[in-house]
Amino acid sequence: MIIGPGQDLVNKIRIVPDFPKEGIEFFDITTLWNDGEGFKKLNDLFYEKYKGMGITKIVGIEARGFLSAAVLADRLGCGVSLVRKPGKLPYETISESYELEYGSNEIHLHKDAVGKGDKVLLMDDLLATGGTMAATVKLVEKLGASIAGIAFIVELDFLNGRAKLGEHEIFSLIRKS
Protein backbone atom coordinates (compact mmCIF):
# COMPACT_ATOMS: atom_id res chain seq x y z
CA MET A 1 0.00 0.00 0.00
CA ILE A 2 1.23 3.51 -0.87
CA ILE A 3 0.46 6.44 1.47
CA GLY A 4 1.80 9.94 2.14
CA PRO A 5 1.38 13.49 0.86
CA GLY A 6 3.20 12.60 -2.37
CA GLN A 7 1.35 9.34 -3.07
CA ASP A 8 0.06 10.67 -6.41
CA LEU A 9 3.71 11.05 -7.50
CA VAL A 10 4.38 7.31 -7.31
CA ASN A 11 3.05 6.83 -10.86
CA LYS A 12 5.91 9.07 -12.04
CA ILE A 13 8.53 6.78 -10.44
CA ARG A 14 9.87 3.84 -12.43
CA ILE A 15 9.88 0.62 -10.41
CA VAL A 16 12.68 -1.64 -11.66
CA PRO A 17 12.31 -5.29 -10.59
CA ASP A 18 15.33 -7.33 -9.54
CA PHE A 19 17.73 -4.37 -9.35
CA PRO A 20 20.45 -4.22 -8.10
CA LYS A 21 19.85 -7.89 -7.27
CA GLU A 22 17.08 -10.43 -7.57
CA GLY A 23 14.09 -9.81 -5.31
CA ILE A 24 14.68 -6.05 -4.93
CA GLU A 25 12.21 -3.50 -6.31
CA PHE A 26 14.28 -0.41 -7.13
CA PHE A 27 12.48 2.96 -6.97
CA ASP A 28 14.08 4.91 -9.83
CA ILE A 29 13.21 8.51 -9.01
CA THR A 30 15.04 9.86 -12.05
CA THR A 31 11.76 9.53 -13.95
CA LEU A 32 10.08 11.77 -11.35
CA TRP A 33 12.83 14.37 -11.74
CA ASN A 34 12.49 14.09 -15.52
CA ASP A 35 8.80 15.08 -15.31
CA GLY A 36 8.58 18.87 -14.93
CA GLU A 37 5.17 18.87 -13.25
CA GLY A 38 6.11 16.01 -10.91
CA PHE A 39 9.47 17.59 -10.02
CA LYS A 40 7.79 20.89 -9.18
CA LYS A 41 5.18 19.19 -7.01
CA LEU A 42 7.90 17.20 -5.20
CA ASN A 43 9.79 20.41 -4.40
CA ASP A 44 6.60 22.30 -3.47
CA LEU A 45 5.65 19.59 -0.96
CA PHE A 46 9.05 19.75 0.74
CA TYR A 47 8.97 23.56 0.77
CA GLU A 48 5.49 23.68 2.33
CA LYS A 49 6.62 21.28 5.05
CA TYR A 50 9.82 23.11 6.01
CA LYS A 51 9.23 26.83 5.32
CA GLY A 52 9.31 29.02 8.40
CA MET A 53 11.18 26.47 10.53
CA GLY A 54 14.43 28.44 10.69
CA ILE A 55 16.51 25.79 8.97
CA THR A 56 20.06 27.08 8.40
CA LYS A 57 21.54 24.08 6.54
CA ILE A 58 20.34 21.09 4.59
CA VAL A 59 22.59 18.04 4.47
CA GLY A 60 22.08 15.90 1.36
CA ILE A 61 23.34 12.34 1.13
CA GLU A 62 25.24 11.08 -1.92
CA ALA A 63 24.11 11.11 -4.58
CA ARG A 64 20.35 11.31 -5.10
CA GLY A 65 19.87 13.29 -1.89
CA PHE A 66 21.92 16.12 -3.36
CA LEU A 67 19.27 17.26 -5.83
CA SER A 68 16.36 17.65 -3.40
CA ALA A 69 18.65 19.19 -0.78
CA ALA A 70 19.96 21.80 -3.23
CA VAL A 71 16.54 22.79 -4.55
CA LEU A 72 15.03 23.10 -1.07
CA ALA A 73 18.05 24.99 0.30
CA ASP A 74 17.64 27.52 -2.52
CA ARG A 75 13.93 27.93 -1.79
CA LEU A 76 14.52 28.29 1.97
CA GLY A 77 17.51 30.61 1.53
CA CYS A 78 19.86 28.39 3.54
CA GLY A 79 23.09 26.53 2.93
CA VAL A 80 23.52 23.00 1.64
CA SER A 81 26.18 20.49 2.70
CA LEU A 82 27.08 17.12 1.25
CA VAL A 83 27.63 13.70 2.82
CA ARG A 84 29.90 11.67 0.55
CA LYS A 85 31.71 8.40 0.25
CA PRO A 86 35.40 8.22 1.25
CA GLY A 87 37.86 10.22 -0.83
CA LYS A 88 35.26 12.49 -2.47
CA LEU A 89 35.50 15.61 -0.29
CA PRO A 90 38.60 17.81 -0.73
CA TYR A 91 38.95 19.25 2.78
CA GLU A 92 39.21 17.87 6.32
CA THR A 93 36.32 15.51 7.12
CA ILE A 94 34.83 13.47 9.89
CA SER A 95 33.57 10.00 9.10
CA GLU A 96 31.12 7.43 10.34
CA SER A 97 30.92 3.74 9.48
CA TYR A 98 27.68 1.79 9.22
CA GLU A 99 26.68 -1.79 8.57
CA LEU A 100 25.12 -3.15 5.41
CA GLU A 101 23.55 -6.57 5.03
CA TYR A 102 26.66 -7.64 3.09
CA GLY A 103 29.41 -5.71 4.89
CA SER A 104 30.06 -2.13 5.97
CA ASN A 105 30.48 1.30 4.42
CA GLU A 106 31.61 4.75 5.49
CA ILE A 107 30.44 8.30 4.86
CA HIS A 108 32.20 11.65 5.28
CA LEU A 109 31.22 15.26 5.97
CA HIS A 110 33.47 18.33 5.95
CA LYS A 111 34.40 19.34 9.51
CA ASP A 112 33.11 22.86 8.86
CA ALA A 113 29.91 21.88 7.02
CA VAL A 114 27.63 22.42 10.03
CA GLY A 115 28.18 23.49 13.61
CA LYS A 116 26.76 24.82 16.85
CA GLY A 117 23.81 27.07 16.18
CA ASP A 118 22.88 25.36 12.92
CA LYS A 119 19.38 23.92 12.61
CA VAL A 120 19.83 21.14 10.07
CA LEU A 121 17.47 19.17 7.86
CA LEU A 122 18.83 15.84 6.60
CA MET A 123 17.65 14.67 3.15
CA ASP A 124 17.94 11.55 1.04
CA ASP A 125 15.89 10.01 -1.73
CA LEU A 126 14.92 6.77 0.00
CA LEU A 127 14.73 5.28 3.49
CA ALA A 128 15.29 1.53 3.43
CA THR A 129 17.16 -0.02 6.38
CA GLY A 130 18.28 3.37 7.76
CA GLY A 131 22.02 2.72 8.08
CA THR A 132 23.23 5.62 5.94
CA MET A 133 20.90 8.13 7.54
CA ALA A 134 21.71 6.91 11.07
CA ALA A 135 25.40 7.49 10.31
CA THR A 136 24.57 10.96 8.95
CA VAL A 137 22.69 11.80 12.16
CA LYS A 138 25.84 10.88 14.14
CA LEU A 139 28.06 13.05 11.92
CA VAL A 140 25.83 16.12 12.28
CA GLU A 141 25.49 15.64 16.03
CA LYS A 142 29.30 15.22 16.41
CA LEU A 143 29.68 18.69 14.89
CA GLY A 144 27.24 20.18 17.43
CA ALA A 145 24.34 21.08 15.12
CA SER A 146 20.72 20.40 16.00
CA ILE A 147 18.58 18.27 13.71
CA ALA A 148 15.29 19.90 12.70
CA GLY A 149 14.09 16.83 10.82
CA ILE A 150 14.84 14.06 8.37
CA ALA A 151 13.21 13.98 4.92
CA PHE A 152 12.86 11.36 2.21
CA ILE A 153 11.07 11.13 -1.11
CA VAL A 154 10.28 7.41 -0.61
CA GLU A 155 10.21 5.29 2.53
CA LEU A 156 9.97 1.51 2.52
CA ASP A 157 8.08 0.96 5.80
CA PHE A 158 8.48 -2.82 5.74
CA LEU A 159 12.27 -2.47 6.23
CA ASN A 160 11.74 -0.50 9.48
CA GLY A 161 14.52 2.03 8.84
CA ARG A 162 12.83 4.55 11.15
CA ALA A 163 13.83 2.43 14.12
CA LYS A 164 17.50 3.42 13.60
CA LEU A 165 16.82 7.16 13.53
CA GLY A 166 15.86 7.81 17.14
CA GLU A 167 13.35 10.46 18.11
CA HIS A 168 13.92 12.77 15.16
CA GLU A 169 10.92 13.88 13.11
CA ILE A 170 10.80 11.93 9.86
CA PHE A 171 8.86 13.13 6.82
CA SER A 172 8.45 10.94 3.76
CA LEU A 173 6.47 12.03 0.71
CA ILE A 174 5.72 8.45 -0.32
CA ARG A 175 5.54 5.49 2.05
CA LYS A 176 5.25 1.90 0.84
CA SER A 177 4.16 -0.70 3.36
**Burial track 130-153 (b if 16+ CB lie within 10 A, e otherwise):** bbbbbbbbbbbeebebebbbbbbb
d(CA 94, CA 42): 31
β-pairing, 119-127 vs 103-110, is unpaired
- Tell me, yes or no, if 92 is annotated catalytic: no
| Residues 6 or more apart whose Cβ sits within 8 Å of residue 146 | 118, 119, 120
- Active-site pick, 64, 96, 155, 175: 64
CB 147 within 8 A of CB 59: no
- Active-site pick, 22, 37, 101, 167: 101
- Tell me, yes or no, if 99 is annotated catalytic: no
The residues that are catalytic are 64, 101
